[in-house]
Amino acid sequence: MGVFDQKDFLGCCGSTKFAKEMVLSGPFSNYQQAVEAARDIWFNKVDVNGWLEAFAAHPKIGESPSHSQKTKSSSSAQWSEGEQSTALASATDSSFQELIEWNARYLQKFGIVFLIFASGRTTLEILAEMKKRYVNRPIVELEIAAQEQMKITELRLSKLFSLQKDASSEAKTDNATDIVNKAGEDRISVIGGHLTSEASTGKPSQATTRTRPPITTHVLDVAQGSPAAGIEVQLEIWEGNEPPSAFTQSHTGHWILQGTSMTDKDGRSGQLISMVDNLNAGIYCISFNTGKYNPAGFFPYVSIVFEVRESQKLEHFHVPLLLSPFSFSTYRGS
């Protein structure tokens, strides 16, 4: 059983809101359950200010954590150094100097440190990614940084569970009679989310329940640089023997409505689909009433069609919309 306090979770992610919500959501029976809760909290409950607080807890790539960062979380500082070890070991004088210059350039444009899942990456790989992302608009880069923070958080949660497992093992060695805790310790011994097939009673365990709907979205108004509130959203699934296509003359199927919602002040929609463990495979369409949101814009509505394959039924699909009056973009988030 993963029982951790707020300081433990601050080491994984520097957002105070995130750490408090994780404590309230716990304890967690295993690593995978903690990750599911962390994703839900980070993307659905922590606002932009909380994201910025978490970003500020990271040192620049190639830079040692500051005294203030060590004070906030000594484990975070230690983990940051370990995650950047490959980059530091692979740096030459010239590449390290270039990294310093690009760190400063990135910070000046976006107002945040360059955030990337650095574990195992060389200095040249990190530099290439920084240059690639430098051309992004700030609102786009904010979303990418949030995705990278989640990757870092998941890695650190695994370390947290691993440390607890090691501590439990030492306690067992010191006190051989403490055998009653073995079942709980076994359940967290495999880091990476593999669930045990049987509980201590010998009955099959239940699959991990989702902590958020399997399909979610939010809308960012790129022109305003802020979340887009009050946009109508609907989700549909295709029913038919053949997949829909804009390039065929006729269809032998139709769209079935799954749910509708409205984006809130953070640009996030409400629940569009039932909280099922196994998402139905198929073709989905998520549509946004952009014409009502911005009558002077170019798009009366925006529809994004995507496919969920049989092998992806247990996954989560986050489909954000980055909107401006005359363009839009999207991608699959976590």
Residues identified as active-site = 58
Label residue 170 by pLDDT band (50, 70, 90): low
* Residues 78 and 13 both lie in one domain: yes
Give residue 166's pLDDT. 54
Residue 143 lies in a domain: yes
pTM value > 0.75: no
Judgement on whether residues 27 and 155 belong to the same structural domain of the protein: yes
67 labelled ligand-binding: no
* Mean pLDDT, residues 42-54 taken together: 92
pLDDT tens per residue across span 95-112: 888 989 999 999 999 999
Q: Report residue 160's pLDDT band, with 50, 70 and 90 as the boundaries.
A: confident
- Are 79 and 226 within one domain? no
Domain stops at, among 136, 169, 202:
169
| Phi-psi sector, 312: left (phi>0), alpha (psi -120 to 50), beta | alpha
Domain containing residue 223: CATH number: 2.60.40.180
Cα distance between residue 138 and residue 144, in whole Å: 10
- 174 located within any domain: no
Q: Do 124 and 22 fall within a single domain?
A: yes
188 lies in a domain? no
Tell me whether residue 241 is exposed, middle or buried, using C-beta atoms within 10 angstroms of its C-beta: 0 to 12, 13 to 18, 19 or more. Answer: exposed
Q: What does DSSP assign to residue 57?
A: T
Of 170, 148, 166, 169, nearest to 158 by C-alpha is: 166
What pLDDT, on the 0 to 100 scale, is given for residue 209? Answer: 66
CA–CA gap between residue 267 and residue 321 (Å, rounded): 10
| 284, two tokens | 């989905």
How would you class 192 by CB atoms within 10 Å of its CB: exposed for 0-12, middle for 13-18, buried for 19 or more? Answer: exposed
Encoded tokens for 60: 């620049």
State the burial class of residue 53 (Cβ atoms within 10 Å of its Cβ: 0-12, 13-18, 19+).
middle
Summarised one tens digit per residue, pLDDT across range 82-94 is 677 677 777 788 8
Q: At which of 137, 169, 201 does a domain end? A: 169
Do 27 and 151 share a domain, yes or no?
yes
Q: Tell me the residue length of the chain.
A: 334
Q: What is the pLDDT of residue 173?
A: 46
Could you tell me if 160 and 258 lie in one domain?
Answer: no
Highest mean pLDDT (candidates 1-15, 61-75, 276-290): 276-290
Say if 56 falls within a structural domain. yes
For the segment 162-172, the average pLDDT, to the nearest whole number, is 60
The answer to whether residue 287 is domain-embedded is: yes
Is residue 118 located within the same domain as residue 19?
yes
User: What is the arrangement of strands in the sheet containing 282-288, beginning at the earlier edge strand?
Assistant: 253-262, 232-240, 282-288, 302-308
CATH number at residue 68: 1.10.3330.10
Query: Quick one: 154 and 276 in the same domain?
Result: no
Mean pLDDT of the chain: 79
Task: Please report the pLDDT score of residue 110 as a whole number.
Answer: 92
Q: Both 151 and 290 in a single domain?
A: no
Whole-number Å distance between alpha carbons of 254 and 103 = 51
Same domain membership, residue 238 and residue 296: yes
- Any binding-site annotation on 268? yes
Identify the pLDDT of residue 101: 92
| Phi and psi, residue 202, nearest 5° | 90, -5
**Residue ending a domain, choose from 169, 186, 202:** 169
Give me the percent of the chain exceeding a pLDDT of 70: 78
For residue 161, pLDDT over 70 is answered with: yes
List, for residues 260-311, the tens digit of each pLDDT value.
Answer: 889 988 888 888 988 888 899 999 999 999 999 999 889 999 999 999 999 9
Supply the pLDDT for residue 189. 38
- What's the structural domain count of the chain? 2
Class of residue 145 by CB neighbours under 10 A (exposed 0-12, middle 13-18, buried 19+): buried
- pLDDT above 90 covers a percentage of the chain that reads 36
Per-residue model confidence as pLDDT tens digits over 228-262: 899 999 999 998 877 777 666 556 778 888 888 89
What 8-state DSSP symbol labels residue 66?
A: P
Residues 150 and 35 grouped into a single domain = yes
- Does 51 reside within a domain? yes
Mean pLDDT of 124-149: 91
Domain that holds residue 293: 215-330
For residue range 306-326, list pLDDT tens digits in order: 999 999 988 889 999 988 888
- Which pLDDT value is given to residue 246? 66
Q: What is the pLDDT of residue 196?
A: 30
User: Is 138 domain-assigned?
Assistant: yes
227 and 318: one domain?
yes
Residue 293 assigned to a binding site:
no
Nearest CA to 107 out of 70, 69, 155, 59 is that of 59
Indicate whether 187 belongs to any domain. no
Q: What is the pLDDT of residue 194?
A: 33
